[in-house]
């Protein structure tokens, strides 16, 4: 297994090692089975929050949430990080019981993924999650490539280094110019490419922020992002970070209860390649680090931005490159 590469900025603004949270989607196991297998292997205690959401509390890991990845089967009275109750659309109006939600979850099991949300871990210890991935494989967890219907992903929540406007802007720029190459390396599943869950950024937005004279001004950056990306379904979702840095500005435009403020880049692009025994969260972390390396090298970044702005980035050209025809 690969070892995690060091980021160019290893610590956060408090001088502590930067952390990364991992979210993994899969099929083949129920929430209860997943919790039991991980508990049997690693110990800790399991707490059932509702019929399809458990928490594995471990002295080394912290709390890992294991749940069916559909909001309507979970209790609506849980508190968000900002203290407001979550709202679940039409089911909130119906005010259905826990029993009905449990039955709905039973019906959806196998059709929607189970998700494990691991607590943030120091980047240098990310390889410790490999053992958990192996347990899931051994007990029959199925990843993205095991069915054309499995549009499953692995998400990384990468803690920012400083949270400055300059850092965020250059990271976004580096991502824009590297996105197509990342699609090829990740070999993004066709179903995930077609569905909107990890959609690419609009070309207009990518061009705007890659202009050399685009200012590193946080308020303006957030306003432009919200105007052109009013959704969490981007391959690099910036809403959690912007909601952390300027909650009122984001709340004024975005009402999605699933947007949780946190000081992280929410990287949604990777597949959940559990069918590959050599794949792990470290694989995707190391691909992410190439973005940060580019963001730190200003000369190389600016040259890449100039080349990006001169590239044919129309949908037809992108599709041809994705299919290997160009």
Which of 128-132, 212-216, 218-222, 317-321 is predicted with the least confidence, judged by mean pLDDT?
317-321
Task: Look at residues 90, 115, 142 and tell me which one is the last residue of a structural domain.
Answer: 142
Same domain, 171 and 318: yes
Burial of 158 (0-12, 13-18, 19+ CB in 10 A): buried
CA distance 35 to 278: 23
Domain membership of residue 123 (yes or no) is yes
Output 161 or 90, whichever has higher pLDDT: 161
* One domain for residues 275 and 324: yes
Quote the CA–CA distance of 113 and 153 in Å, as a whole number: 10
> Which of 142, 164, 182 lies at the terminal end of a domain, its last residue?
142
Determine, yes or no, domain membership for 148.
Answer: no
Distance CA 303, CA 291 (A): 14
Number of domains in the chain: 2
H helix or E strand, kind and range, residue 66:
strand 62-68
Question: What's the gap between Cα 204 and its chain centre?
Answer: 23
Q: Are residues 185 and 120 in the same domain?
A: no
Check whether residue 72 and residue 168 sit in a common domain.
no
User: What pLDDT score does 97 carry?
Assistant: 59
Domain assignment of residue 256, yes or no = yes
Domain of residue 107 covers: 26-142
Whether residue 182 is contained in a domain is answered as yes
Same domain for 136 and 160, yes or no, is no
Question: Do both 227 and 324 map to the same domain?
Answer: yes
Do 160 and 281 belong together in one domain?
A: yes
Residue 50: the pLDDT is 81
Q: How far apart are CA 211 and CA 205, in angstroms?
A: 10
Please name which of 159, 88, 153, 77 lies closest in space to residue 116, comparing C-alpha atoms.
153
Residues 320 and 187 grouped into a single domain = yes
Residue 17 lies in a domain: no
Per the CB < 8 A criterion, the answer to whether 251 and 260 are in contact is no
- pLDDT, tens digit (0-9, with 9 covering 90-100), for 25-69: 999 999 999 999 999 999 999 998 887 899 999 988 889 999 987
Domain membership flag for residue 252:
yes
Return the HEC string of 112-133.
ECEEEECCCEEHHHHHHHHHHH
Mark whether 181 and 319 lie in a shared domain.
Answer: yes
| Residues 290, 258: Cα–Cα separation, whole Å | 28
Any domain includes 10: no
Residues 130 and 175 in one domain: no
The 10s digit of each residue's pLDDT in 279-314 is 999 999 999 999 999 999 999 999 999 999 998 665
Give the phi and the psi of residue 178 in degrees, each rounded to 5: -100, -5
Return d(Cα 58, Cα 257) in angstroms, integer.
27
* pLDDT confidence bin for 264, thresholds 50/70/90: very high
Co-location of 165 and 77 in the same domain:
no
What's this model's pTM, rounded to 2 decimal places? 0.86
Q: Are residues 126 and 168 in the same domain?
A: no
The pLDDT tens digits of the residues spanning 66-113 come to 998 756 445 654 433 433 434 444 444 445 556 555 554 444 455 578
pLDDT band of residue 194 (cuts 50, 70, 90) is confident
Give domain status of residue 5, yes or no: no
- Pick from 142, 175, 204: which residue ends a domain? 142
CA diameter of the chain: 59
């Amino acid at each position: 297994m690969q070892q995690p590469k060091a980021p160019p900025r290893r610590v956060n603004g408090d001088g502590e090692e930067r952390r990364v949270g991992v979210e993994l989607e899969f099929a083949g196991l129920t929430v209860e089975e997943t919790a039991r297998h991980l508990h049997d292997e690693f110990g800790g205690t399991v707490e059932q929050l509702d019929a399809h959401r458990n928490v594995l509390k471990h002295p080394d890991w912290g709390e890992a949430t294991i749940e069916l990845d559909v909001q309507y089967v979970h209790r609506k009275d849980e508190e968000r990080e900002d203290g407001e109750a979550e709202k679940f659309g039409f089911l909130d109006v119906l005010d259905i019981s826990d029993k009905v939600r449990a039955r709905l979850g039973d019906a959806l099991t196998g059709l929607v993924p189970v998700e494990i949300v691991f607590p943030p871990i120091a980047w240098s210890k990310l390889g410790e999650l490999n053992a958990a991935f192996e347990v899931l494989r051994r007990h029959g967890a199925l990843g993205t490539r095991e069915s054309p219907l499995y549009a499953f992903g692995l998400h990384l929540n990468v803690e920012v280094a400083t949270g400055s406007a300059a850092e965020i802007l250059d990271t976004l720029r580096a991502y824009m110019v590297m996105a197509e190459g990342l699609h090829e390396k990740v070999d993004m599943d066709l179903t995930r490419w077609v569905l909107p869950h990890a959609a690419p950024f609009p070309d207009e937005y990518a061009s705007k922020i890659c202009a050399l004279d685009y200012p590193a001004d946080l308020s303006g950056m957030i306003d432009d992002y919200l105007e052109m990306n009013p959704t969490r379904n981007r391959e690099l979702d910036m809403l959690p970070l912007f909601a952390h840095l300027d909650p009122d500005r984001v709340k004024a435009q975005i009402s999605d209860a699933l947007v949780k403020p946190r000081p992280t880049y929410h990287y949604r692009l990777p597949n959940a390649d559990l069918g590959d025994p050599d794949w792990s969260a470290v694989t995707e972390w190391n691909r992410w680090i190439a973005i940060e390396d580019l963001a730190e090298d200003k000369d190389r970044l600016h040259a890449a931005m100039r080349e990006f702005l001169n590239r044919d980035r129309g949908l037809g050209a992108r599709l041809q490159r994705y299919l290997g025809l160009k």
